[in-house]
Amino acid sequence: MGSVAVPLAGLEESYDYIIVGGGTAGCVLANRLTEDKDVRVLLLEAGDDRTTDPLVLTPGLVAGVYGKDEYDWNFQSVPQSTLNNRIINQARGKMLGGSSALNFMMLVYPSKASIDAWAAVGNPSWNFEALKPYLKKFATVDVPSASTKDICAITYNNDTVAYGDGPVQVSFGEGYGVTNKGWFDTFESLDLLSKRDARDGQALGAFQNASSIDPATKTRSFSAVTYLTPEVRARENLKILTNTHVNKVLFDTTGPEPVATGVEINVNGIVSQVSANLEVILSAGALQSPQILELSGVGSKEILAHHNIPVVVENPAVGEGMQDHPIVCQSFEVKEGTPSGDVLRDPAVLKALLDMYTADRSGPLGQLTISVAYTPLVNKTGVISDEGVKELFAGRDFSNPARAAIRDIVTNPNEPTFQYILFPTQVHIADKPGNMATHLIPVEPENFLTVMTILNSPFSRGSVHIQSSDPKAAPVWDPKYNHDDLDMELLARGVQFVEHLVAPESALGKLLNQTGRRLPQLKGDDLETAKEIVRQRQISVFHVSGSCSMRPREQGGVVNERLQVYGAKGLRVVDASIFPIEPAGNIQSVVYSVAERAADLIKEDRIKEYRKAVKV
């Protein structure tokens, strides 16, 4: 199928900026760049516009979209040798709004040190202070109610008015109950209750995360509805094209440096081209931005040669450096009377809850009842002593700046090495999960709660690369979980700590059936068993990042601090791919704020270029 240099009907021949991927970051850019009436922007999205779809909008129905081609790219990893050769599923939003349209809506702020580490690996202009205004700019965080504050031990938040005034609407909800209280009481008894607001970047202990749920409508608040409001869509300088697959970036290679001049697109099998006067910006996510770069001739020369793709920019770092948070899910049978989301297996219960939600937006379908905790390095004895931490890290090589930066976070007793999550249902782990819903559908007849252990700053690095020159073929994703054995050592210690949380005498343990089932039926108090729990029960938190890393080129960078692709002009990457080091916590807050900051950088650069051109 040849491509024609003729624009598709309805499209102009050229735009100033072409944004590839209308996902979490892409919608932010489309909004912010078109604030300037002088620039014309084209936003291209492979999926459809599902901003009025109840399955997307209703928080409690999220499992209904996973694995369906019209919502989810549904990637699978290669078998993971450290996880009993299991395949790990990776849902990714394939619609306007991208993964913000199918994520779990947890709104968690990163730790300060995990963002300061970006500066430590060669990006001096990126640290927590620099990102902070943007962490505030993307969202409006509603004030928690008095009862939520009471149940969830929110003693530090004295806000009486909303925090921030950004487009994404964030709230706490009302449905927290005995299990949440049990969570906070348990952490308090372990002297691990947060006294600080996680927004400051220095929370440590259990705290109540907010959710990207609009408090007024109890619907998912995500990038496509919040950044692409009817007013924004009506801007004459913004064109949004959905159901448009971008095959590759086009370059002019006649000058001293290749210049991105546009993209090749496929709309219903018709392949055509559209030009960018100023820039092409890739916001296709951490699995697909590197894929598009490789398809366009930017990548390792061996990989490109293997697929007969002419090299435009040789950079073996494209698609490398892939990171993700590993998450270990242990489910515990609850006592009779303890609430569990597993009751939704009963169609009559689901119908009753749907009726409540439809009638007046009440009930659990309109809110998230997850609670979280950040802890330092812990094991079966609690917080590990300084001596114990030293021993664990002794004799290992930290000459690589990124490894040293991560070690500094993980060994700091004031930093969250782990994030724990209280999840209100059972989690099912299959060797080859067909899609994300496989994990969530309650297949066990008993009711459970799940405690999840996340390693916030993993040392392992994976990869994602094309396996074909066909733009529609999924790339090969190998997260290489725990390939750095330190990750397994750390995660297993985190799993050991779970025994404290579910112990019979703990407030949470009292809500569990202590003689009932566990998934898996293993107790993680000894280290070897804890490692086996990791092998059987670790999956992805869906925080893939780092595959087009921002750092000096000679240190494995793909983009510079202004997110421009090394070796080419007029080409940037703006999405989770650019994270040089995975931030602590759930990453949508960082994706939104990176995109907000990127929009400012792009605006600044345009003014600079203009001044240069007119010699002001």
Ligand X SMILES: Cc1cc2nc3c(=O)[nH]c(=O)nc-3n(C[C@H](O)[C@H](O)[C@H](O)COP(=O)(O)OP(=O)(O)OC[C@H]3O[C@@H](n4cnc5c(N)ncnc54)[C@H](O)[C@@H]3O)c2cc1C
For residue 608, the minimal CB distance to ligand X (Å) is 26
- Residue 273 CB, nearest distance to ligand X (Å)? 14
Q: How far apart are CB 359 and ligand X at their closest, in Å?
A: 27
74 CB burial (10 A radius; 0-12, 13-18, 19+): buried
State in angstroms the smallest separation of the CB of 362 from ligand X: 22
Paired residues of 462 in beta bridges: 322
DSSP 100: G
Q: Which is nearer to ligand X, 283 or 375 (CB)?
A: 283
CB nearer to ligand X: give 379 or 549. Answer: 549
Sequence-ordered strand ranges (E) for 479-564: 518-519, 538-540
Name the residue nearer to ligand X (CB basis): 86 or 543.
Answer: 543
SS3 127: coil
Cis status, amide bond into 7, omega within 30 of 0: no
Residue 516's Cβ-count burial label (10 Å; 0-12, 13-18, 19+) is middle
Q: How far is the CB of 355 from ligand X (least distance, A)?
A: 26
- Pick the closer one to ligand X by CB: 496 or 588: 588
For residue 375, what are the CA distances in angstroms to 140, 186, 216, 406, 417?
27, 13, 33, 16, 6
Task: Give me the least distance between CB of 489 and ligand X, in Å please.
Answer: 26
> Could you list the residues that contact ligand X (CB under 6 A)?
20-26, 44-47, 91-94, 98-100, 102-106, 245-246, 283-286, 288, 292, 436, 542-543, 575-576, 586-589, 591
Residue whose token pair is 């049978």: 333
Annotated catalytic residue, options 245, 325, 500, 543: 543
Q: Which residues pair with 15 in a beta bridge?
A: 276
Tell me whether residue 185 or residue 418 sits nearer to ligand X (CB atom).
418
Closest residue to ligand X, based on beta-carbon distance: 23
Question: Residue 445 Cβ, how far from ligand X at the closest point, in Å?
Answer: 26
Q: Tell me the CA distances in angstroms from 174 to 414, 420, 490, one per residue in order.
A: 31, 21, 35
> Residue 421 or 534: which CB sits closer to ligand X?
421
Burial of 136 (0-12, 13-18, 19+ CB in 10 A): middle
Axis crossing angle, helix 386-393 with helix 485-501, rounded to the nearest 10: 150
Give the residue with the Cβ less far from ligand X, 44 or 491. Answer: 44
In which element (H, E) is residue 170 found? strand 168-170
Min CB(590)–ligand X separation in Å: 8
3 state SS for 9-36: CCCCCEEEEEEECCCHHHHHHHHHHCCC
Helix (H, G, I), strand (E, B) or coil at 387: helix
Closest CA to 419 of 454, 471, 451: 454
What is the rounded CA–CA span in Å between residue 45 and residue 52? Answer: 17
Contact 264, 233 (CB under 8 A): no
Say how far apart CA 63 and CA 43 lie, in whole Å. 28
Helix (H) or strand (E) run with residue 534 in it: helix 527-537
- Nearest approach in angstroms of CB 46 to ligand X is 4
Nearer to ligand X (CB atom), residue 24 or residue 338: 24
| Rounded distance between C-alpha atoms, residue 448 and residue 426, angstroms | 5
Single-letter residue type at 500: H
β-strands 213-214, 219-220 pairing: antiparallel
- Shortest distance, position 610 Cβ to ligand X, whole Å: 28
Q: Closer to ligand X at the Cβ: 284 or 558?
A: 284
Can 325 be counted among the known catalytic residues? no
Q: How far apart are CA 402 and CA 581, in angstroms?
A: 8
Q: Which is nearer to ligand X, 110 or 524 (CB)?
A: 110
Q: By the 8 A CB rule, do 41 and 17 touch? A: yes
* 431-452-199 Cα angle (round to 5): 135
Mind telling me the catalytic residues?
A: 543
